[in-house]
Amino acid sequence: MATLQSTTTVTTRARPRAAISRDALLKWAPLLVLLVLCAIFTLMEPRFLSIRNFARILIAASPALMVAVGVTFIIIMGSIDLSMEGTVSVCAVAFAFCFLWLGGTLASWAWLAIPFAMLVGGLLGFVNGLIHVRLKIPSFMASLAMGFVGTGLAMVMTGGDRIRIEDELFRSLLTERILGFPLMVYVAGLFLLLGWFIQTRTTLGRNFYAVGGGEDLAVASGLNVARVRVLGYTLAGVFFAVGALLAVGRIGIAETATGNNFMFISITAVVVGGTALWGGIGGVWNTLVGVLIVFVIDNGMVVIGLPGYVQDGVLGILVILAVILSTDRKSISFVK
């Protein structure tokens, strides 16, 4: 697609070459939207542009960013994963139980609860992928049903109770700050880099694009698509687990409701960032920008003092605008 466009820009001699190519514009449009939003909010309320406020935005965004990065891989494949609310809840609760059982402080063996939660996330993702691939159920339905199972499982484990994590060492994710930003922001940053590494530097990452770009072609070139899909869902599950850990770190409570609202927020963010739902385009940096757009709007509306109900509407309009701006109308004939 990209090569096709660049040839057309070369052949149309009428316009000077110096004009910014549409490709570049499309690539940077989400970032542009983010910067414009920040500029508008800063103009209306200078306090928006402060480290304190940015820390607030990033704290709120970190768990969602991890979940969104996980689902990015799936969306690049042209599939979708709606199981995140259940998976996040189960991982949060599993972490909390394991953590308290092993001593309740990071300074003891209880640190094992962290890899354990990621293992649980990976396992749920693996099952999700298997159901989707082996039973040939479209990912939308398979993952939606797995989400129910996850939320239900978390409910069974907790019996509806909340579990408090009061270990100061673990809560230092939120309380300990470096350069004004709490540790959880750096943890999220590290995992974002890991996601970027997987996306660009591993065979699996490249295979996601191969599957999303054209599954027929991927199969014909001998790619084991079923394996790539299952691995993709497993990987997404691990990222959901990281999101769960950060969510627990942020509020200090693990419960069935820990996973609430992650589904729409993360998918909105991925799409706003410019990763197309039909697959093959986008990546984790797009997702970072998308998540920031969503949370900057959320925060900016409060900072400039607009009533709560305006936020939803503005977010809705911006989501539509962002997708319209980032869609190349010439390359698609219709959308579903």
Partner 1 sequence: MSMEKLKPWFPWITLAVLVLLVGAVNPAFFKLSGMVALVADIVPLFIMALGMTFAIYIGGIDLSMQQVANLVTVVATVYLAQFGPFVALLCVAAGFAIGAVSGWITTRQFVPSFVATLAMGFIALSGARFLSGERALSMNAEARDASFGWMFGNTAGVPHELIIAGVLLAFAWFLQTRTTFGRALKAVGAGELAAVASGLKVDRIKILAFALSGSFAAIAGLMFSVKLSGGDANLANGFLILAIVAVLVGGTPLTGGVGGVINTLVGTLIVVVIRTAMVYLEVDATMQQMIFGIILIVAIAMTIDRSKMRIVK
Contact set with partner 1 (CB under 8 A): 77-79, 86, 131-133, 135-142, 144-153, 155-156, 159-160, 215-216, 264, 267-268, 271, 277-278, 307-317, 319-320, 323-324, 327, 329, 332-336
Non-local (6+) Cβ contacts of 144 within 8 A are: 82, 83
CB of 213 vs partner 1, minimal distance in Å: 13
CB of 275 vs partner 1, minimal distance in Å: 11
The token duo for 104 is 């309740």
List Cα–Cα distances, 175 to 57, 65, 165, 167, in angstroms. Answer: 15, 19, 14, 12
Q: How far apart are the C-alpha atoms of 126 and 132, rounded to whole Å? A: 10
> Which residue lies nearer to partner 1 by CB, 110 or 281?
281
> Which residue lies nearer to partner 1 by CB, 146 or 296?
146
> Which residue lies nearer to partner 1 by CB, 36 or 324?
324
CB of 170 vs partner 1, minimal distance in Å: 27
The token duo for 141 is 């339905």
Task: Please give, one letter per residue, the 3-state secondary structure of 180-227.
Answer: CEEHHHHHHHHHHHHHHHHHHHCHHHHHHHHHHHCHHHHHHCCCCHHH
The token duo for 154 is 């978390």
CB of 4 vs partner 1, minimal distance in Å: 17
> Which residue lies nearer to partner 1 by CB, 213 or 252?
213
> Which residue lies nearer to partner 1 by CB, 106 or 142?
142
Whether the Cβ atoms of residue 109 and residue 103 lie closer than 8 Å to each other: yes
CB of 238 vs partner 1, minimal distance in Å: 21
